[in-house]
Amino acid sequence: MQKKKIAIVGAGFAGISACKVLCSSKEVEVDLIDRRNYHLFQPLLYQVAMAGLNPSDIAIPIRKLFSKNRNVNIILAEVNSVNVKNCEIQFDEKWNKYDYLILACGAKHFYFGNDHWEQFAPGLKNIEQATEIRRRVLTAFELAEKAMSKDEQKKLLTFAVIGGGPTGVELAGAISEMASKTLVKDYKNADLSEVRVLLIEAGDRILSAFPEKLSKQAENDLKSMGVEVKKNCRASNLDQNGFSINNEWIECKTILWAAGVRPSSLSKSIDSAKDSQERIIVEKDLSLAGHKNVFVLGDMACFQVNKHQSLPGIAPVAIQQGTFLGNQILAEIKGYSRKEFNYWDKGIMATIGRSKAVVSSNNMHISGLMAWLIWVFIHIVYLMRFKNKFFVFLQWLWSYFSFGQGARLIIHKSWQFYDGKKINYK
């Protein structure tokens, strides 16, 4: 029997999880295609942005994950187009056939139609963006240190995070802690007690996926750390000097985007039903309507639990979908019929700062130190699973508590938007 050719596009949680199941079978050959050479542990990406972790602490070369599996081809390429009728995908200027296609390309940021805002307010989805955010935040402190006027200093020490979801909450909390705990010792002219961190949320509460009680708790925690939480506010008119909310202009040098997300642009080449966030609506077996051999997973997919509810774009969903699908394809090759995907909801969590987090699991609502310990434990376990670097994590925990922030380097070449002038620290 000829081996089935399975193409997996995207080596995020969903793609890797599917590949980990499929690689064990001799009846399939897998092409795992990603435009990067590493798998990223995205839940800790904000720590890279905040100089607490190195990129390589949370990323692993994809080849290393599957170096022992001769039936997995790792391909560094960008898939440009999908033709589900001909069972072909295009990359490296060639069309390549598949028997099964797994699309797991994840999501990117969405600026509500204002794509030019991206330069003023980078999002946090990949390592380049994380290091860009790190550079902007650290450079703002450096420029504040030598600012010529109080107004200038104030503008440089104002940081705004747009979007009150888990990423926005983590970023706002981390900037506030970095200023008050780590950096405060290092600057002499800049008065870091003047640092202002704003968290802007369009809805009437932050962490809206969590129970109301925990949203409130998180808001109080942020406030106790000095973060100004602005609800029912929409940011607009972003530029290099600030933005407006509700007709008020906020002078601000550093804006971070943690608001809308949209699926990867490859989803545009799929002609199928989509939800309001443009995610592809999938069948109960994760397949594309009308194409039994094409599957969409993770942040790209809208899996409807019932008429009013779909699964959120979080790592546990992606991991479970990947594992389910890998097993389903192997079962189908052996002649078994398909099953429906069932998500086992273990809960959601968000961290706010050192020893502050919120965890919601079934009917358990936990906040404070206990929630934070759960968050740490789960992240250790998952990171270990793929990194096998226990003491990198220990070391991070150490510097996390000692407020060391070791990776505090401004590395890239230029910080582009300082009064329109390009500053080039070559």
Does position 406 bind a copy of itself by CB under 8 A? yes
Half-sphere exposure of 319 (CA within 13 A, CB side): 12
Number of chain residues interacting with a copy of itself (CB under 8 A): 50
Distance CA 226, CA 141 (A): 17
Q: Which of 209, 289, 397, 409 binds a copy of itself (CB under 8 A)?
A: 409
Which residues, 158 to 217, sit near a copy of itself by CB under 8 A? 185-189
Q: Does 410 bind a copy of itself (CB under 8 A)?
A: yes
Per-residue contact flags (x/-) with a copy of itself for residues 359 to 398, judged by CB under 8 A: ------------------------------x-xx--x---
At residue 177, what are phi and psi to the nearest 5 degrees? Answer: -65, -40
Residue with Cβ nearer a copy of itself (131 or 287): 131
**Any idea which residue has 């329109």 for tokens?**
420
Which residues within the stretch 119-148 sit at the binding site for a copy of itself (CB under 8 A)?
Answer: 127-128, 131, 138-139, 142-143, 145-146
Residue 422 is a binding residue for a copy of itself (CB under 8 A): no
- Residue 90 burial class via C-beta count within 10 angstroms: exposed 0-12, middle 13-18, buried 19 and up: middle
- Kindly indicate which of the ranges 79-87, 244-252, 329-337, 406-414 contains the residues binding a copy of itself, using the contact rule CB under 8 A: 406-414
- Decide: is 235 part of the binding site for a copy of itself (CB under 8 A): no
Q: Please report the DSSP string for 330-367 in residue order.
A: HHHHTTPPP---------EEEEEETTEEEEEETTEEEE
Interaction with a copy of itself in 20-59: which residues (CB under 8 A)?
35-38, 54-57, 59
Give the C-alpha separation, 250 to 230, whole Å. 12
Query: Are residues 23 and 66 in contact, defined by beta-carbon separation less than 8 angstroms?
Result: yes
Contacts from 245-251 at CB under 8 Å and sequence distance 24+?
Answer: 245/200, 250/158, 250/160, 250/198, 251/151, 251/154, 251/155, 251/158
Is residue 70 at the binding interface for a copy of itself, with CB under 8 A as the rule? yes
Binding region for a copy of itself (CB under 8 A): 35-38, 54-57, 59, 61, 63-64, 67-68, 70, 73-78, 92, 127-128, 131, 138-139, 142-143, 145-146, 185-189, 389, 391-392, 395, 406-413, 425-426
